[in-house]
Chains A and B, each alone.
Chain A
Amino acid sequence: MIKQKINTGYLISLGVSVLLAFLVGAVILLCTGHSPLKAYGAMLSGAFSAPRHVGDVLEYAMVLGLCGLACDLGSRVGIFNVGGEGQLLIGALTAAQVGVALDGASAWVVIPLAAMAAIASAGLYALIPGVLKVKLKVNEVITTIMLNTVAASLCQFMAKGPWKSSNRTLIAATERLNADYWFGGLLRGSKLSTAIFAAAAIAFVVWYVMQKTTPGYEMKLTGQNPRFARFSGLRIDRKIILCMTVSGAMCGLVGMFRVYGAEHLFKPGVSNDYYFEGLMVAMIARYQPLATILLSLFFAVLKIGAEGLQQVGVPNQIYLIIQTVIIFFMAAQGGFLEQLSHSRNLNSIRSSKKGGA
């Protein structure tokens, strides 16, 4: 994994990548007979034209940011959690079911219990690949990918079968939560809920621990130089497993926020590969917490704005293209610049030789 610091060079290449990606998008738009200016204008107004759009942007930024931070947490100690999607679904399902099972109890009881259920189930689900990685050196990327599919199937099974809603029009969904348990909406018509305050608190704690505390420094050491960390007396095995579990628990909480804040029931659509998008944001942000949060705001604007595209007749998937092209450029730029300077060095050596002769 390439780990570089955030500096001016990074900001420049990020800016260039974003610009190039919008250019690529414009070319594709032109090829399919749409005006890029009109489309990008529709995107802007799609994200900002009404308060409810801004609310949706913030809600999605919360999802992306927390998922990205969960990924940061793992990568800091050198474990790559790709299983967030599965952990999110498991957390969402258990949290939803707690709300359904305790229907009638006070919200002060239900919401903490649901959060704990989400944390515990998703954390345990992340514990499996964590333990396998540390104890047996089984590649965590592969196990988490497998466990993603397993989780998706299991959740679908529960939502279609034992925990199915009595509403027959829903094919795979749990019972709708009692409205007392919903997180309060903040902007009329948007998905934004008070969950964002909880999310902000979590994000702050994660940032603080990672950047400002001794355990955070030890995590960094564990990820960058595990042998040195071990010889310095750190229990790196325990750190890796702990970080993986917390990362999973965070994804589980995102699932709970999605259920209690936005959807009010569990269905497989609670997450449409949101974790993968968060992971890509984290990657672009070079696994730095603050940059992850800022970039998730940017990508949320892109995603919600893209919904405004349909009004001018442009398929909104153009946003996926732009997002991934940014990643391609960002991922390639390290190697590209290296080769550029390499060939420049070669050239200067050659010319100096010529000059000397």
Chain B
Amino acid sequence: MSEFEKILSTVFSVGTLQQMLRSATPVALAAIGGSMTEHAGIMNIGMDGMILMGAFFGVLGSFLGQSALAGLGLALLIGVLVGLFFALLVVRYKSDEFIIGCALNTFALGLTSYLSRSVFGNNGTKGNPALPALHLPFLSKIPILGPMLNDQSLFVYLTWIVVLLAWLFVYKTPYGLWLRASGEKPDTLRTAGISPKRMQWIASLLCGILCALAGAHLSLGQLSGTFAENMSNSRGYIAFACVIFAAAHPGKAYLAALMFGFFEAIGLRLQSYVSADLTNTIPYLITIIMMVYVVARKQQRKKKLARA
């Protein structure tokens, strides 16, 4: 086997695909939440903090209630609170969403690290009740897809449902139409008798919940009940990149998350050939190129229209 074939076979192995799904799932959940706020015209870069809050309070709930479900419950509750808090500042008090996002990230980092050290001590916590991985016997018979999809955390499957629901919500229901209108044409929506602010509240709330789920998945699912300081590890920013990349389309955001997951997975696998630090930059660069391409195309279209 030549060197090149070896590289190819490591890149396109079942393990890579499994890893891709695993790293894509939390990012995708957050990105779908971010799509909601993006549609409502709020540029939300506070997702990283929201994820971190979900991750910590998930573990805290699991520790206090000695059950993973209690953890999930607390994480969701915190997600609701953070979403409402974000909306209170950004929608109600019209603060700069960008500043609030920045501050929220730092606030979450400070609060979770502080509480983690206060409750669990300086070494953090491990081995709290966690959400088990699902083993589906019928899947193991299918080649490639079987091992790729099997033994994954419940959230991996849940995310597909969330993607579908989010897509239905945004594009097939009147609420979704209002949501999109609240970002694009708030005055039109107001004329139709629907408050754009209410849609923005709902969007922030959904974003908070989905980000908290993403965090709970990280701490309760992937790391089996472990909280580490700053464990969101800028996944919120990756999710933000996915939202931009997908123009806030939930399905496309999921695909974008898969792309980020793919590059992370091959980065881990090809460490003996290229540094993971380099492969990690690829998705970000692609996102920038995508943005430039989208904007340039829009301008071209405008010019054409102006000529015609």
A interface residues with partner B (beta carbon < 8 Å): 1-2, 28, 32-33, 80, 82, 132, 136-139, 141-143, 145-150, 153-154, 156-157, 160-161, 273, 276-277, 279-280, 283, 315, 317-321, 323-325, 327-328, 331-336, 338-339
In the docked arrangement, what's the CA distance between A143 and B289, Å? 10
Specify which of B43, B281, B295 is in contact with A153 (CB 8 Å cutoff).
Answer: B281
State the Cβ distance, B45 to closest chain A Cβ, in Å.
7
User: At the interface, yes or no: B110 with Cβ under 8 Å from chain A?
Assistant: yes
Specify which of A141, A160, A331 is in contact with B89 (CB 8 Å cutoff).
Answer: A331
User: At the interface, yes or no: B292 with Cβ under 8 Å from chain A?
Assistant: yes
B interface residues with partner A (beta carbon < 8 Å): 43, 45, 88-89, 92-96, 98-100, 102-107, 109-111, 113-115, 117-119, 234, 237, 240-241, 244, 275, 277-278, 280-281, 284-285, 287-288, 291-292, 295-296, 299
In the docked arrangement, what's the CA distance between A156 and B281, Å? 11
Cβ-defined contact, B275 with A161, below 8 A: yes
Cβ-defined contact, B244 with A331, below 8 A: no
Cβ-defined contact, B117 with A315, below 8 A: yes
Using Cβ atoms and an 8 Å threshold, which residues of chain A touch B287? Answer: 146
Cβ-defined contact, B107 with A328, below 8 A: yes
State the Cβ distance, A158 to closest chain B Cβ, in Å.
9
Using Cβ atoms and an 8 Å threshold, which residues of chain A touch B104? Answer: 324
CB within 8 Å for A145 and B281 given contacts A315-B118, A317-B113, A320-B106: no
Specify which of A141, A276, A283 is in contact with B43 (CB 8 Å cutoff).
Answer: A141
Cβ-defined contact, A138 with B278, below 8 A: no
Cβ-defined contact, B292 with A132, below 8 A: yes
Using Cβ atoms and an 8 Å threshold, which residues of chain B touch A161? Answer: 275
CB within 8 Å for A136 and B110 given contacts A2-B96, A157-B275: no
State the Cβ distance, B86 to closest chain A Cβ, in Å.
10
State the Cβ distance, B234 to closest chain A Cβ, in Å.
7
Specify which of B95, B110, B244 is in contact with A320 (CB 8 Å cutoff).
Answer: B110
Specify which of B93, B106, B284 is in contact with A146 (CB 8 Å cutoff).
Answer: B284
State the Cβ distance, A163 to closest chain B Cβ, in Å.
13
Cβ-defined contact, A143 with B288, below 8 A: yes
In the docked arrangement, what's the CA distance between A142 and B100, Å? 15
* B interface majority secondary structure: helix
Using Cβ atoms and an 8 Å threshold, which residues of chain B touch A2? Answer: 95-96
Cβ-defined contact, B43 with A332, below 8 A: no
CB within 8 Å for A149 and B237 given contacts A156-B277, A276-B106, A315-B118: yes
Given contacts A154-B278, A328-B89, 15 further A-B contacts (CB under 8 A): A32-B118, A132-B288, A142-B244, A145-B241, A149-B281, A153-B278, A153-B280, A157-B277, A276-B102, A276-B106, A279-B102, A280-B99, A283-B96, A315-B117, A321-B107
Using Cβ atoms and an 8 Å threshold, which residues of chain A touch B285? Answer: 146, 150
6 A-B pairs within 8 Å (CB atoms) are namely: A32-B118, A80-B98, A141-B98, A146-B287, A283-B96, A320-B110
In the docked arrangement, what's the CA distance between A71 and B277, Å? 28
In the docked arrangement, what's the CA distance between A80 and B277, Å? 27
In the docked arrangement, what's the CA distance between A277 and B109, Å? 13
Q: Which 5 A-B pairs have the closest CB atoms?
A: A320-B110, A335-B93, A324-B107, A157-B277, A331-B95
Cβ-defined contact, B106 with A273, below 8 A: yes
CB within 8 Å for A154 and B277 given contacts A138-B295, A334-B95: yes
In the docked arrangement, what's the CA distance between A14 and B101, Å? 20
The residue of chain A having its C-beta at the shortest distance from the C-beta of B122 within the complex is A315
Cβ-defined contact, A138 with B291, below 8 A: yes
In the docked arrangement, what's the CA distance between A161 and B275, Å? 8
State the Cβ distance, A335 to closest chain B Cβ, in Å.
3
In the docked arrangement, what's the CA distance between A139 and B294, Å? 12
CB within 8 Å for A331 and B93 given contacts A136-B299, A146-B284: yes
Cβ-defined contact, A320 with B109, below 8 A: yes
CB within 8 Å for A324 and B118 given contacts A141-B98, A157-B275: no
Using Cβ atoms and an 8 Å threshold, which residues of chain A touch B111? Answer: 28, 317, 320-321
State the Cβ distance, A316 to closest chain B Cβ, in Å.
8
The residue of chain B having its C-beta at the shortest distance from the C-beta of A28 within the complex is B114
Cβ-defined contact, A331 with B284, below 8 A: no
The residue of chain B having its C-beta at the shortest distance from the C-beta of A136 within the complex is B295
Using Cβ atoms and an 8 Å threshold, which residues of chain A touch B281? Answer: 149-150, 153-154
CB within 8 Å for A145 and B93 given contacts A279-B102, A328-B100: no
Of the listed residues B89, B98, B118, the one surrounded by the most CB atoms of chain A closer than 10 A to its CB is: B118
State the Cβ distance, A40 to closest chain B Cβ, in Å.
15
CB within 8 Å for A332 and B299 given contacts A28-B114, A145-B240: no
State the Cβ distance, B48 to closest chain A Cβ, in Å.
11
In the docked arrangement, what's the CA distance between A338 and B110, Å? 30
In the docked arrangement, what's the CA distance between A160 and B45, Å? 29
CB within 8 Å for A136 and B93 given contacts A157-B277, A157-B278: no
CB within 8 Å for A324 and B103 given contacts A153-B278, A160-B275: yes
Cβ-defined contact, A32 with B93, below 8 A: no
In the docked arrangement, what's the CA distance between A136 and B295, Å? 7
In the docked arrangement, what's the CA distance between A330 and B43, Å? 20
In the docked arrangement, what's the CA distance between A318 and B115, Å? 9
State the Cβ distance, A139 to closest chain B Cβ, in Å.
8
Specify which of A139, A273, A327 is in contact with B103 (CB 8 Å cutoff).
Answer: A327
State the Cβ distance, B301 to closest chain A Cβ, in Å.
14
Using Cβ atoms and an 8 Å threshold, which residues of chain B touch A153? Answer: 277-278, 280-281
Cβ-defined contact, A143 with B291, below 8 A: yes
In the docked arrangement, what's the CA distance between A32 and B116, Å? 11
In the docked arrangement, what's the CA distance between A257 and B254, Å? 42
In the docked arrangement, what's the CA distance between A332 and B103, Å? 12
The residue of chain A having its C-beta at the shortest distance from the C-beta of B91 within the complex is A335
Using Cβ atoms and an 8 Å threshold, which residues of chain A touch B113? Answer: 315, 317, 320
In the docked arrangement, what's the CA distance between A289 and B284, Å? 32
State the Cβ distance, B264 to closest chain A Cβ, in Å.
12
